[in-house]
Amino acid sequence: MSPRQTKTSKGVEQEQLIEWLEHLKLRTIQTHLDALCERAAKSKMSYREFLYHALEREIEDKEIRRLAMGERLAKFPFERTLQDYDFEAQPGVEQARIRELSQCRWLAHGENILLLGPPGVGKTHLAVGLGREAIKRGHRVSFRSAVNLLSELEQAHQKGELERKLKELSKPSVLIVDELGYLPFAKEASYLFFQLITRRYEKGSVILTSNRAVREWGEVFGDAVVATAILDRVLHHSHVLMIRGESYRLREKRKSGLMQSALTSTITSTTPS
């Protein structure tokens, strides 16, 4: 007797079904098969409705898993979305412009985004949020702080593996380089960065965040010629957002301070003497 025949037909079907669902990588239907079937039976769905409902769940979950995987690969420093960004708190950022950029048309044309402004205004938050929108649309995104990126390039250069590193960093559709200008680059490092920018020029997009104005980039790169060459390529097809405003964290602190004093004065004025 074959092992198949030792089981009831329902048991065999169930086992085979699970195997097929696994083979087809329909993980949500596989995990929730009993619940999905029970629900269908209870609500007297048609066969077509059941299939629709089960596949809808699978596709929704697949999308969530794909996004999570893309975010892990991107190595974002924190989880932030454009929906989390408080535009009222930062009138220096035009919501309509961010909404337009969230459509990722800039990406299709290999355009760049520069987010410039003082610390705490949400440059990294917006860069991560825009990166997330790109992942949602099926693009590969990679996040690096400028300091880490440069040390990666320098190490690769020292090991004679610069070409391989440049290739690797040219692959993602969007490369986010965060905090350019917090530390000035040595001349050699600036030239490595220049090579990377040249490699990606008009092929892949770059999102750069910096607390330094573009006119100060000569100082950042320690060499006016290299800085001009970098700027030339970065700015050629670019969206520049200058965020002038107060640090969000400081604003929150100040607000809670104000609320504290408002509270104290209310208590004092209503306390009978």
What's the closest the beta carbon of residue 122 comes to Mg ion, in angstroms?
8
d(CA 186, CA 190): 6
Binding mask 105-134 for Mg ion (x = CB under 5 A): -------------------x----------
Tell how many helices (H) and how many strands (E) occur in the chain.
Answer: 13, 5
Binding mask 181-220 for ligand ADP (x = CB under 6 A): ----------------------------x-----------
What's the closest the beta carbon of residue 249 comes to ligand ADP, in angstroms?
5
Instruction: Decide: 174 and 204 in contact? Cβ < 8 Å.
Output: yes
What's the closest the beta carbon of residue 214 comes to Mg ion, in angstroms?
17
- Which of residues 134 and 180 has its CB atom nearest to Mg ion in the complex? 180
Per-residue burial over 204-222, b if 16 or more Cβ lie within 10 Å, else e, is bbbbbbbbbebeebeebbe
Exactly one of 122, 129, 172, 181 binds ligand ADP (CB under 6 A); which one? 122
Helix, strand, coil share of the chain (percent; to 5): 60, 10, 25
d(CA 92, CA 19): 55
Binding mask 9-48 for ligand ADP (x = CB under 6 A): ----------------------------------------
Residue 125 interacts with ligand ADP (CB under 6 A)? yes
What's the closest the beta carbon of residue 212 comes to ligand ADP, in angstroms?
12
Strands 205-210 and 112-116: parallel
Give which of 156, 160, 177, 180 is closest to 168, Cα–Cα: 156
Residue 90 interacts with Mg ion (CB under 5 A)? no
Binding residues for ligand ADP, rule: CB under 6 A, are 80, 84-86, 89-90, 119-125, 209, 248-249
